[in-house]
Amino acid sequence: MHILVTGGTGFIGRALVPELLRAGHRVTVLTRSLPEPPPATFAMVTDLADLDGDVDGVINLAGASLADHRWTSRYKQEIVDSRLATTRKLGAFFKALARPPKLWVNASAIGYYGNRADEALDERSQPGTGFAAELCRDWEAAAREAAGPDTRVCVARFGVVLDREGGAYPEMARPFRFGVANWIGNGHQWLSWIHRQDVVRALMLLVERNDLEGVFNVTAPEAVTSRGFCEAMQQVHRTFLRVPMPAFAMRVLVGEMADELLIGGQHVVPAALLEANFCFDFPTLSSALQDIELQSFAADT
Ligand SMILES: NC(=O)c1ccc[n+]([C@@H]2O[C@H](COP(=O)([O-])OP(=O)(O)OC[C@H]3O[C@@H](n4cnc5c(N)ncnc54)[C@H](OP(=O)(O)O)[C@@H]3O)[C@@H](O)[C@H]2O)c1
């Protein structure tokens, strides 16, 4: 298949594109700026008009990071526009073609469910409230609208994607590297995580299995609490201090984002992936952390 990946230069896209190529797909990445020199094994374009030939599938990952900046009203608008406007632009472009893509895989996030205490959430659970929940709901709706009625649409609600070289993990691991074990707030909030390798494998499953469509929680089957995460980290890092980070300090440090991304949480179950017989390479947090720390050790030596 010829697959167009938006956000293909990002943390997930950088791992996904090589896997798509390995599986024999042709890949074009839509980006805001072209690298110099251009990649040898896939195409990159800044404008949809430069696409070479029909596109069979779209994987839409692009969007300004939710965690990189304080949520000022201006940055919130950028978070929204970078997803909704890009998605609508893609939709308008493909709708004007005689042969629109057969497949549309769209990123979303478990932020869709809002903060839900201990409730176990599967794909049929109702959306929550808050900025992230509304963003995810609107982005998913925009993707369905953009894809059109004859396209197989899969929405991937990603959990917190863990790996060594990007995403949330390097920040989460930093205190542990200095021997300090920590958690945020009372530590009871749920963290629904997934190893990046399993994210890529789940996306490949959605690409390759024509019978799959709809919403997929892309999280490991074993969510943990913030305290549980701390305990698992202590298995792979020697720590000598326990310093919980009070919720109010997080609010002062990062503002509104703290309540939605750090102090709150959601206990998400990947029911649709399990139903599709997806086999996780890293079903438990300890297996994921051992792998990630082994990669770090290999990179540092
Ligand atoms: N990583 C996670 O833990 C996680 C969890 C839940 C949901 N997600 C969602 O999954 C998607 C992919 O995640 P990721 O971690 O790979 O994201 P990422 O590393 O932040 O990369 C996303 C890509 O989006 C493009 N982008 C960034 N700012 C943009 C803007 N203002 N306007 C248009 N495009 C912009 C960039 O591509 P170019 O520079 O090439 O244009 C970037 O490489 C994101 O939408 C993210 O919200 C990720």
Cβ burial of 150 (10 Å; 0-12, 13-18, 19+) is exposed
pLDDT tens digit sequence for 156-168? 999 999 999 999 9
Question: Which atom of ligand 1 lies closest to the CA of 9?
Answer: 43
Q: Would you kindly state where each structural domain of the chain is located, as residue ranges?
A: 2-300
- Statement: residue 201 has pLDDT above 90: yes
pLDDT tens digit sequence for 55-98? 999 999 999 999 888 888 999 999 999 999 999 999 999 998 88
- Statement: residue 251 has pLDDT above 90: no
Tell me how far the alpha carbon of residue 142 lies from the centroid of ligand 1, in angstroms.
Answer: 17
Q: What is the per-residue pLDDT for 248?
A: 82
d(CA 225, CA 191): 5
How far are the Cα atoms of 51, 113, 164, 295 from residue 298, in angstroms, in the given order? 39, 37, 11, 5
Tell me how far the alpha carbon of residue 172 lies from the centroid of ligand 1, in angstroms.
Answer: 19
Tell me how far the alpha carbon of residue 64 lies from the centroid of ligand 1, in angstroms.
Answer: 6
The answer to whether the pTM exceeds 0.75 is yes
User: What is the phi/psi pair of residue 72, to 5°?
Assistant: -75, 165
Q: What is the per-residue pLDDT for 264?
A: 83
Domain 2-300 has CATH 3.40.50.1580: no
